[in-house]
Structure 1
Amino acid sequence: MKQVAEDIYEVKLPLKGSSLKELSSYIIKGQDRSCIIDVGFETEECTQILLDAAEELGLCCGNTDILLTHSHRDHCGNLPNLYRRFGRIVCSVWDGMEITWQDPKSRDEYMRNSFLKCGISLGLLKKMPPQIDVSVPIPSQKVCTVAEQDVLSYGKYRFRVIDLKGHMPGMIGFYDEGSGIFFPGDHVLNKITPNIGYYEEGDHSLANYIKNLEKIRDLPVSHVFPAHRGEVLSLQTRVDEILEHHRERLDEITGVLATKPMCAFEVAGKVKWYYKEGCFKDYPLVMQWMATSEILAHLQYLWERGEVIRSGGTEETYIYRYGN
C-alpha cells in the first residue's frame, strides 16, 4: 500500500494468469465514510490484501463503499468475497444489471452473437472458457447506481461521476474538481490501450470511446490514477496518443479492405498485432476473439460514418467492403 495523495492510497492487487499482471485499487479514507475503487479477482490473496489495508488504515468496513469503474472481472470479480463486509456497491446502471445478473441478454447469447458477427466459427464456442465476471449475483439491495454528474463525498473529496462508456457500455470515472484528482479506470492507460470491443448492434462502442476521450482531454487535473500501468503524467498527451493509435488502426483496416470484402476475423488476421510477436493465428482463442471484437468495433465505426459498406443480416456474419 502506498499513499499517493492526501487520504488516498494505492493498493496493488495481483491478477494471476492475466497479461495485465496487477490492478491498482485505490482507497479514499474519510472521516465518516470511506471507499475502495475496484477490487480485483475473486481470490483469497486479493481479499486479504484489501482487508489488511482497511485494517491498517483503521477503516470501518461497514462504512466503506466499493466503487466500480466497470464490471470486468479484474475490477469486480472479488465482490462475492467482500460485499457482506463492506457498505454500498456504487456503479453505473449498466454494471448494476451485470453484477446482479439482471441483464436481459444471457452471456451465452451475447457470446454466440459476438462470434457470429465477427465471423469466428460457432463450433469454437465450446472451447471458450466461461466468460463470467462475477461468480454469484450480488444482492440488488447492496447496489447503488449512479449516473453522470452525480457526486459522491468521501472526506475532503467530492467525486463527480463521469460517463466514460466505450471500453464497456457502463464505464464510469470519478473526478474531484477541487483537487484535480481523476480516477479513469481503464479509459486512459499508460503504454497500452483498453480493448474496445463490439457488444451489440447500435452500441457504437468506438464512437463512444473517442467522444469520451475528447471530453476528458482538457480536464484540469493534478493526478490521473488509472487501474493499470501507473499514474498518467500528462492526460492531454496520453489522450492524443490513444486517438492517433485509433486513427492509424482505422486507416490500416481500410487498407486491408481495399483488397477484397472481408469479415472482422479475416481483417484481424491481416493487421498488425504486438502480442506474441504479432502472430495472430497463434493467439489463444480468448485473445483471438477479443482482438477480432475490437476490429469489428472499428469496422462498425467506419460503417456508421459511411466509409465502408456492410452486408449481412441478423443471423449472418457481417461482411465489409471498402469503396463502391
Structure 2
Amino acid sequence: MTSSTTSTAHAVSPDSGEHWSKEGAWRVTEGIHRIPLPLPMDGLKAVNVYAIETDEGLTLVDGGWSIEVARDLLERCLRDIGYGFGDIRRFLVTHIHRDHYTLATVLGHEYDADVALGIGEKPGLDLLNAATDGGAEIEGNPFLDVLRTAGAHEIAEAWAQGPHELPDPAWWQYPDTWLSGDQQIAVGARTLDAVHTPGHTPGHYVYAEQAAGLLFAGDHVLPTITPSIGFTVPPVADPLGDFMASLTKVRSLPDLTVLPAHGPVAPSSHARVDELLAHHEERLELSLAALAAGPRTGHQVAHELPWTRHDHPYDELDDFAQGMASMETKAHLELLVARGQATCEDTAGGVVFSAVTG
C-alpha cells in the first residue's frame, strides 16, 4: 500500500523525461548520474545506482543485483559517461538487500574498490555466510520462523516448497568498511552525511549532500511506494518503531531532493517523509481497530486490512505478498505494544496481540 498519488509503474523521472526505469546514465546534476539497472522477477523493474564523479574516479551509491544483464548495462552506461569498472574507487551501499549489495561486493573485490556497509547488517551477512561455511549450514528458509511467529503457518509451508539454493559466496563477501553511527564522508570535493536509518533493514544508511540539496535515499524514502518492514533476518524487536524514528531523523535535515533506489527523482524529502509517517499512523489505527474483536496474530490482522495502492483484500495477494503482509502487520502490532496500546503473548500458533482496554 502506498500514500503516493503517482504509481511506480507510470512514474516519469525529471532527470530523464522518461519512465524512471528507462536504461541510461541520466544526469541528475553536474557530476552525478542515475543509472537504473534491471531486477529479475521483481515488480519494481529496476534499482537506481548513482555514479558520483571525482578527480580520483567514481563513487557509486549502491551497486545493483549481481546478474549478467545488470552488470553489462552498468558497464555500458559508465562507458557512455567516459568511465569503466576500473575507475570505481568506492561503493557506498545503503543496505544489505541483493539488489543493492551483491554487484557492489562482486565488482569491489574484482577491481579493488572499497565497499562500505552499515555495521547493523553484519548479523544478516553472518547468517548468509554461515550457509556455505563448512558444516554450519542454515536449514531451509530463515524467514519461515518469522512467518510462523506471525501466525502465517500455511504461508510458511508454501514458502518452504519453493526453490532452495545456497547463497553464492561471491555475492555475500564482507565489506571493506563498516559504517557505524552518523558520520561525514568526503567524496572528492563533496561532503556526504552518512546517516544511519534503521527500519527497512537494521544497518540501512542514507547519504545526504546538504550543500547540493540531495538525499541518496536508498529504500528509506521512496517516492511512490512504502518500503517493506519486518522482512529481515535475524528479526529485530521493533522494526517499524525504528523506521518511523529514522524518518523523523531524516525530516530534521533540510528539505532535500530525493534520489531514491526505486522510482523517480522526487522534489521534497520533507513532503514524502510526512506522507510515509501519516501512512503508517493510519495502518496503526487500522491494526488497533482489528484487535477490538479479540486477540489476533499478525496474520489474522493482515486479513482485515487493505493492501497495495488499490486496497486489495489480503486473499487476492499471492503467497509471497501474503507472507510480506503478515510480517509487516506483525511489525505494526509490535509498535502498538511499544506504545502501550496492545499486549502480546507467545503461543504455539504465533505471537498473539490484544488491545489494551480502559
Regarding TM over 0.5, the answer is yes
CA distance, structure 1, for counterparts of residue 55 and residue 265 of structure 2: 26
**Hey, what's the Cα distance between the residues in 2 that align with 1:137 and 1:13?**
17
Q: Distance in 1 between matches of 2:76 and 2:211?
A: 30
Q: How does 1:69-218 map to 2 (within 5 A)?
A: 69-79=94-104, 81-83=106-108, 84-85=110-111, 87-96=113-122, 98-99=124-125, 101-102=128-129, 106=138, 108=140, 110-121=142-153, 122-130=156-164, 136=170, 138-140=172-174, 143-197=176-230, 199=232, 203-218=237-252
d(CA) in 2 for partners of 1:223 and 1:129?
Answer: 40
Per-residue CA deviation, residues 130-172 of structure 1 (Å, 9 max, x unaligned), is: 59886645444x5211123322222221112101100111100
SS, match of residue 278 in structure 1: coil
Report the Cα distance in structure 2 between the residues aligned to 1:201 and 1:27, rounded to whole angstroms: 32
Structure 2: how far apart are the matches of 1:132 and 1:78?
A: 17
Partner of 2:7: none
The alpha-carbon deviation at position 290 of structure 1 amounts to 0.8
Q: Structure 1: which 5+ residue stretches go unaligned? A: none
Cα 1:98/1:10, change in 2 over 3 Å: same
State percent identity of aligned pairs: 25
One-letter identity of the residue aligned with 2:211: G
2:44 is the counterpart of 1:20: yes
Equivalent residue in structure 2 for 1:39, among 39, 63, 66: 63
Listed as ranges, the matches of 1:307-322 within 5 Å are 307-312=341-346, 317-322=350-355
| Contact 2:32 2:52 (C-alpha < 8 Å) held by counterparts | yes
Distance 1:98 1:321, change over 3 A: closer
| Equivalent pair of 2:256/2:269 in contact (CA under 8 Å) | no
**Aligned residues between the structures:** 322
Structure 2 SS opposite 1:91: strand
Query: What TM-score, normalized to structure 1?
Result: 0.89
Q: What is the letter of the counterpart of residue 158 of structure 2?
A: L
Distance 1:30 1:105 in 2: 42
Change (3 A) 1:156 1:6: farther
1:274 aligns with 308
Shift of 1:16: 2.9
Question: Which residue number in structure 2 is paired with residue 67 of structure 1?
Answer: 92
Name the aligned partner's letter for residue 234 of structure 1: S
Displacement of 1:261: 1.1
Unpaired stretches in structure 2, ≥5 consecutive residues: 1-24, 131-135
Structure 2 vs 1, CA of residues 36 and 224 (structure 1 numbering), >3 Å: closer, same or farther? same
Following superposition, the deviation at residue 310 of structure 1 comes to 0.9
> Counterpart of 1:69 in 2: which secondary structure?
coil
Note the alpha carbon deviations across 1:264-310, whole angstroms, 9 max, x for none: 11111110112676132232222111111100000100011211121
Distance change (3 Å), C-alpha of 1:222 and 1:139: closer
Cα-Cα RMSD = 2.6
Which residue in the other structure is 1:243 paired with?
277
Given residue 30 of structure 2, which amino acid in structure 1 is its aligned partner?
E
Matched residue SS, 1:238? helix
Whether the aligned pair in 2 keeps the contact of 1:76 and 1:133 (CA below 8 Å) is no
Distance 1:217 1:136, change over 3 A: same
Q: Which amino acid aligns with 1:5?
A: T
- Over 3 Å counting, the alpha-carbon distance change for 1:198 and 1:47 in structure 2 is closer
CA shift, 1:71, in A, is 1.2
